[in-house]
Structure 1
C-alpha cells in the first residue's frame, strides 16, 4: 500500500508519499494541471510494481471536485476527500504549537489516510449524469441566493430615501416592481406615474385584480413621506437603477438555469423515483439528487443517508447528563431542500401530515417536527432507491403508526 497526502492550492499541490510504516518516500511541490498529475503518477510509479493494483494507492485531499480529483479517480486510486476541520484537529494531536505549512498539511493528510482511512468517507463514485445535475442545480441555487442579497440591498436603499416604494411593492424581485422602479427610481418620478403606466406593467407581469392593484400602488407612491435632499435622492436613485438592472438580469438567468435543471434532471434514471416522493418537484428533486449523489454503495443503510443529510439528531452524554440535539454542521444546500420537501409534504401526503400532527400534539415545536418529518422522508427515499421502486403512501407509513420518539 502507498499513501499520498495532497495539499492542493489554486496554482500548485504539495504532496507526500508514505509507505505502510509511515516512512516518507517522497515529497514534491507539483503544478496544477496535466503536468502536475503526470509528475505525481511518475512519483507513484517509482514505488509500485507493474502488477500492483491502482487501488493500493490511497490519496487524501481536502476537496472532492475539480480536474485533479477526477484525474486521480480515473487512475483507479482510492480517494478520500478530507474535511479541512478534520485535518486541523488531527494536526493538533501531534503538535499544540499552532504551526502550519503546506508541506506539513500534506504530511498530515498522508498520515490520516494511512492510519484512519477506515474512519474517512471515500469520494463517491457518482455517474456523470448526477455530476451534471449537481453542477447545474448548485449554479441555479447560487443565483437565487445572489438575487436575495441584491433584493435586500435594494430594500435597504429604498428604506433610506423612498419608503413609499416598500409599501407599494410587496415583492421587490417581481417583474412589475422592477419595471416601475427602473422607470421611476425616486419619489418625484414615481409620484408622476400614471395609472395607465402602472396597469401596463401589471399586465405584462400577468397579475390579477389589476385595476385594484394599480390604484393601491399609485396611492402608495403618492403618499407623503420623509425625504432626503435632492442631491442625496439623485445618488440613491442611481443605486436603485443599478440594483434593478442586476435583479432583472438575475431573474432572466434564473429562469434559463431552471430550464437547464429540468433538462438534466429528466435524463437521470432515478428521476422518476425522486419525483414520486411527496413534496418533491423537479427543482427540489434535482437538488436532493445532486447533493446525495447516485453512488449505490455510498450509504450503507438509511441511517447513513440520514446522518449525511444532517436530519438525524446527535446525542451528547456525559455521566448523568444526556441531551439529544439537532445537527448544526450540515450541507446547507441539501438541508434547505429537505426542509422545503418536509413542509410541502404536509399537503401532499396524508401519512406525513398525520405524523407531523402527532408530533405537534405532544408539544414539539414546528421546526423540530418538520426536522423529524424530514428525517423520516429521507429514510423513505433511501428505501425507494434501494429497491428501485416509486413511493407508495400506504407502504411508506405502514410502520410509523406508533408514536415517534422525542424530537431533538
Structure 2
C-alpha cells in the first residue's frame, strides 16, 4: 500500500524493458497526460518527470522493481517523488479485466497507471535503497548461481565415475564436497592414473587438503580400485572430462568462499545482525536472505509474513468431496527455501526439536513437520523484528 495515495495528482505507469520503457501518465480523473516510449536513459527519465511536475504530486509505478527497473526507480527517488510497484500476479489478473488480448508495452503501461489510480491496495511501496541490502541481494543471487553450477558439476563427476568405475565412485562421491577429492581428480582423474601414482603419493596429496582424513580416504580409494580390473569403454574420454570438471568445481567453491566472506562482512555491519543471529540456526546466508527479502517491507501481522514466505496453509473446500489443507505454492520462493533450510538446521535446538517431534507424533510427515516448524519460526521472527528484541526460548519467557 502506498502512503499518501490520496494526495497524488498524477499516476505514471511504466512498463520497463531492457533498452526501452513505455510510460503512461493519468491524472486523478483518468485523463491521459502522457503516452510515449522512452529509452533506458537517466536524462530522458528526468525529463518525463519534470514535464509532469506542473500537474501536481507524482506517483511512479513499475512492474519490475529490480534489474531492468532499477534505473527508473533510482531516478524517481532522486527527484523526490513517490515510487511503487505492481506485482506480476496482480498485473496479470488486472490485465484480464481490460478488453482485448493484445500484449504491448503501451497497453501494459496504461494498465499499470490505471491500477495505480484506482486500485491502490494492489501496489507495493518501495523504500529508499539500502546500499547494504542492495549489495547483499546481488551477492546472494550470484552465490545461488554458483551453488547451482557446483551441484551440476558434482553430479556430472559422480555420473562419470559411476559409468567407468562404480566402486571408485562409492569411495570418492560421498566426499566430493571436500576440496581434497576434487584435487585428486584434477591430478589423477582415471583409475589407471591413480594406480600408477600409488597409495603413498595419493595419500600425501589428500592429506595436503584433508590432514585428518587424507590417509583413510587414500586407503578407501585403493580398496575400491582393487574391486575392478576391467576397463570400461569411455574411460579415456572420462580422463579428459573429469579433470576439467574437478577444476571447475574447485574454482566454483573458491568463488563461493570469497562471496561468503564479503556477505559475512555486510551482515555483521547491519543493525539487525545481533537480533537475527540470536535465533537458533540463523547463519550468514540465512541472515543475508532475511535482510534482502524481509527488511524494508511492511507486514501487518505474523500471518502476513508467513503468507509472503509461502508458509501459510491453503484450505481447499468443495462440497463434501474435496477437503483439506496444503502448503502454498506461492510466496517468495527464495525466502521460503532459506527459512525451510534454517528450520531443518534448527532441529539441533532442543526447543525446535521438541516442536518437530510433537508434530511428527501428530501424524505429520517429515516435510510437513518442518514446514510447521518454519511457520512457527516466522511468527517468532516477526515479533523479533517488530520489537527489535533478541530471541528468547519459550521457557525463559515464561519465567
Equivalent residue number for residue 81 of structure 1: 85
Equivalent residue number for residue 145 of structure 1: 148
Distance in structure 2 (CA, Å) of the matches to 1:156 and 1:330: 34
Distance in structure 2 (CA, Å) of the matches to 1:327 and 1:22: 37
Q: What aligned pairs does 1:253-268 form with structure 2 within 5 A after superposition?
A: 253-268=255-270
Equivalent residue number for residue 64 of structure 1: 66
Distance in structure 2 (CA, Å) of the matches to 1:20 and 1:87: 20
Equivalent residue number for residue 166 of structure 1: 169
SS in 1 for 2:281: coil
Distance in structure 2 (CA, Å) of the matches to 1:98 and 1:12: 22
Q: CA deviation at 1:110?
A: 1.4
Equivalent residue number for residue 99 of structure 1: 102
Equivalent residue number for residue 386 of structure 1: 386
Deviation string 1:95-114 (CA, Å, 9 cap, x unpaired) is 3x542112211112112222
Equivalent residue number for residue 307 of structure 1: 307
Q: Which runs of 5+ in 2 are unaligned?
A: 1-8
Deviation string 1:339-387 (CA, Å, 9 cap, x unpaired) is 1221222212x32222222211110111111111111111111111211
Q: What aligned pairs does 1:5-404 form with structure 2 within 5 A after superposition?
A: 5-45=13-53, 47-49=54-56, 52=57, 56-65=58-67, 66-95=70-99, 98-125=101-128, 127-169=130-172, 170-224=174-228, 227-229=231-233, 232-293=234-295, 295=296, 298-319=298-319, 321-348=322-349, 350-394=350-394
Distance in structure 2 (CA, Å) of the matches to 1:109 and 1:237: 56
Deviation string 1:138-196 (CA, Å, 9 cap, x unpaired) is 32233222211222222333333343441221133421111111112223223323112
Q: CA deviation at 1:289?
A: 2.1
Deviation string 1:187-222 (CA, Å, 9 cap, x unpaired) is 322332311222123212225344332111112134
The answer to whether the 8 A contact 2:340-2:371 is kept is yes
Distance in structure 2 (CA, Å) of the matches to 1:199 and 1:244: 18
Q: CA deviation at 1:396?
A: 7.8
Q: Which runs of 5+ in 1 are unaligned?
A: 400-408
Distance in structure 1 (CA, Å) of the matches to 2:230 and 2:113: 64
Say which is worse superposed, 371-380 or 213-222, in terms of deviation. 213-222
Distance in structure 1 (CA, Å) of the matches to 2:323 and 2:206: 57
SS in 1 for 2:124: coil
Say which is worse superposed, 101-110 or 71-80, in terms of deviation. 71-80
Q: 1:27 to 1:382 in 2, by over 3 A?
A: same
